[in-house]
Amino acid sequence: MSSVAVGILSGVLMGIVFGFALEKSRVFEPGMIVGQMQLRNWIMLKVFLSAVATGAVVLAFLHGFGFAKLQPKAALYAADIVGGLILGAGIALAGACPGTTLAQIGVGYRDAIFTLLGGLSGAVAFSYAQPWLAKSLISSGPKLIFTELVGIPYWQGALALAAVIIVILFLIERLRPWRADLGSNFDGNVSGKASPRDRLAPAE
């Protein structure tokens, strides 16, 4: 099989697992994402940090035993900050991020189609502006990772990060159990402000 065919096939299969986990965790719900940004719903941070810790452990082994090379992005501080702020504003107003937008489309959220169209437009607008932005704002930088700064092997730092995250998650879970953030319809709508009809409305 050609490498392109392997790429497409593995992409679809991995995406199905990814989308399944996003839906089951409920993190793709606008209620969860807006709630997280309003600091009253913690499901998004819990899913996110669990995935980061798992990825760190996995990569500590894959990299430590020489099965994989790390692929860190270059540190471009101005671009990381400006881009990150704009991206964050978009995430709050979309109630989604670039990946979860597709999960929202999968479950039939109609506004997510507009998020997707806006996203494609934003990506194209950036593409037109890229030659200019690359020279001004984005520039170039080193592919820097924290363990290089302190001079220890990556696997040690990765396992330490995972350990710290596990402690943080235990503390957050004690303060705010995850079931309390689900809402009666599992969509993070815990305010009870919506009418019962809204909450049980069938797909139109």
Which residue from 64, 65, 66, 133 is in contact with another protein, where contact means CB under 8 A?
Answer: 133
Taking CB under 8 A as the criterion, which residues in 10-49 touch another protein? 10-31, 34-40, 43, 46-49
Picking from 160, 20, 141, the residue whose alpha carbon sits closest to that of residue 74 is: 141
Count the residues of the shown chain that bind another protein, applying the rule CB under 8 A: 145
Shortest approach of another protein to residue 95 CB, angstroms? 7
Shortest approach of another protein to residue 88 CB, angstroms? 3
List, as own/partner pairs, every contact residues 141-150 make where C-beta atoms lie below 8 angstroms and the sequence separation is at least 24, other chains included.
141/74, 141/75, 141/76, 141/77, 142/74, 142/75, 143/72, 143/73, 143/74, 143/75, 144/72, 144/74, 144/75, 145/70, 145/72
Burial of 187 (0-12, 13-18, 19+ CB in 10 A): middle
| DSSP at 74 | P
Taking CB under 8 A as the criterion, which residues in 82-101 touch another protein? 82-101
Binding of another protein by 168 (CB under 8 A): no
Which residue from 121, 163, 171, 180 is in contact with another protein, where contact means CB under 8 A?
Answer: 121
* Interface map 52-71 toward another protein (x if CB under 8 A): xxxxxxxx--x----xxxxx
Taking CB under 8 A as the criterion, which residues in 170-189 touch another protein? 178, 182, 186-189
Shortest approach of another protein to residue 171 CB, angstroms? 14
Shortest approach of another protein to residue 61 CB, angstroms? 9
Q: How far apart are CA 132 and CA 14, in angstroms?
A: 35
Q: Which is nearer to another protein, 69 or 174 (CB)?
A: 69
| DSSP at 178 | G
